[in-house]
Amino acid sequence: MPQRPFSYELERRYYTQRLPEEAKPYLHLEPYLRCWLNPEAVFGGKRVLDIGAGECTYTRLIAEKFGPKEIVACELFAERMLPAFRANRSPNLKFVTGDAFKLPFQSESFDVVFASSVLSQLPNLADAVCEIRRVLKNAGLYVGWEPNPFNPVIIYRYFFKPHSPNQYLFWPWRFRPTFEGAGFQITLRYFYAKVPRMRNRFLGTCIGILAQKRDG
């Protein structure tokens, strides 16, 4: 994985310029989950942690649509979550300020850890993956998606559009060994939410990641 360390200062500087004044819409994001997994089966009745939750769009979607027992939004900068916190009406949704490299939860606390376009902004990924493993129960599941670097549009956006200074191209041959070395069995699924049947590595805009914690 990239060797440069995660910059908290650059991350704060980038996101504090983009703080929402009110909660962002989120129900339109459902295809980004449904087109590559069965979200009711993955989240239903489970205790779920959403790391790098940002404005909590996916956290609220999961809480409202897919029936988790509880879902916790964990975000480095509390101010990013405030609009969603004020708008939230789901009793099973909690909000916690926390660092993905030092998650403020007990070991083996969650059935599922979720993240949307987060790991590609964590250069020292191995530390984050170890924390994900720590807070997952035995046979627990990491579920997330990242921008697909095989897609020309994603590469164009990376080089020519604004993004977090911590972001890097999330090549599978770099992150797969990190998960496997930490004790996960990993499956990748390429998808394009607007055309759910499209599974092509070069046309899909996203990489879906399913990583199950192995015992031991």
Quote the CA–CA distance of 51 and 74 in Å, as a whole number.
5
pLDDT(11) > 70? yes
pLDDT(125) > 60? yes
Q: Which amino acid is at 164?
A: S
Which pLDDT belongs to residue 198? 84
Average pLDDT over residues 62-71: 98
Strand-pairing partners, residue 187, are 210
Tokens of 120: 């590609």
Average pLDDT, the chain: 95
pLDDT(67) > 80? yes
- Our CA dihedral for 148, 60, 51, 164, rounded to 10 degrees, sits at 50
pTM for the full model? 0.95
pLDDT(108) > 80? yes
74-100 confidence digits (pLDDT tens):
999 999 999 999 999 999 999 999 999
At residue 215 the predicted structure's pLDDT band, cuts being 50, 70 and 90, is confident
Which pLDDT belongs to residue 197? 84
Quote the CA–CA distance of 140 and 136 in Å, as a whole number.
5
The topology (CATH level 3) of 8-213 is: Rossmann fold (3.40.50)
Tokens of 82: 């405030």
Domain boundaries, the chain: 8-213
